[in-house]
Amino acid sequence: MPRIHLDVDHVRQLPSVYSTTIPSDYLDAMGHMNVMWYTHLFSMGFVGLMKHLGLMELFDGSRDSGSFALENHVRYLSEVRAGHTIHIHPRAIARSEKRFHVLYLMTNEDRQDVSATYEMLSTYVNLKTRRTDRIPDTLAAPLDRLIEEHRQLSWDAPLCGVMTA
């Protein structure tokens, strides 16, 4: 697989929806962040994206709706260590009637690079029936605007090539 290089300044064109400084208990025996924490941090990016769009109530259980992850792909591009400050930046890729596809990018302020990407395909669900459901207009419209805005960026999203909404 060819090496992925992303310009951190390009990624910073996207909003930062979550940031934190990595504590030492996130480290593994190699002295860098354990892989399990990437999923946690990128999940926090999803929450941040919904807050950014003003739609967290669709995903907090109060409306019997939410989302399920269907597929994800992680690329680890550089080490993240204790004390590093990271930011999560979402890039909306596409959506269908029931699914949405987002690429999350982790920037590392200490290294001044993009440390990881997390491509995620999610589906909207009715929590009463535990089945997929049509994305409501209150979510579809802001997602569509964001997808269109992100299509205008001058750089290609580094997608894995197997996920589609």
Domains, the chain, ranges and CATH? 8-151 (3.10.129.10)
Whole-number Å distance between alpha carbons of 83 and 96: 39
Please, which residues have CB within 8 angstroms of residue 95's CB and are 6 or more apart in sequence? 101, 135, 140, 143, 144, 147, 165
Whether residue 1 is predicted with pLDDT greater than 70 in this model: the reply is no
pTM: 0.94
Considering only CA atoms, which of 58, 71, 80 is closest in space to residue 118? 71
Q: Which of the four pLDDT bands, split at 50, 70 and 90, describes residue 56? A: confident
Tokens for 34? 């354990």
The mean pLDDT of the chain is 94
Whether residue 3 is predicted with pLDDT greater than 80 in this model: the reply is no
pLDDT tens-digit readout, 109-147: 999 999 999 999 999 999 999 999 999 998 999 999 999
Q: What is the pLDDT of residue 153?
A: 97
The four Cα atoms 59, 60, 63, 64 give a dihedral, to 10 degrees, of 80
The enclosing H or E element of 115 equals strand 113-126
Considering only CA atoms, which of 76, 84, 65, 81 is closest in space to residue 130? 65
Q: What is the pLDDT of residue 2?
A: 56
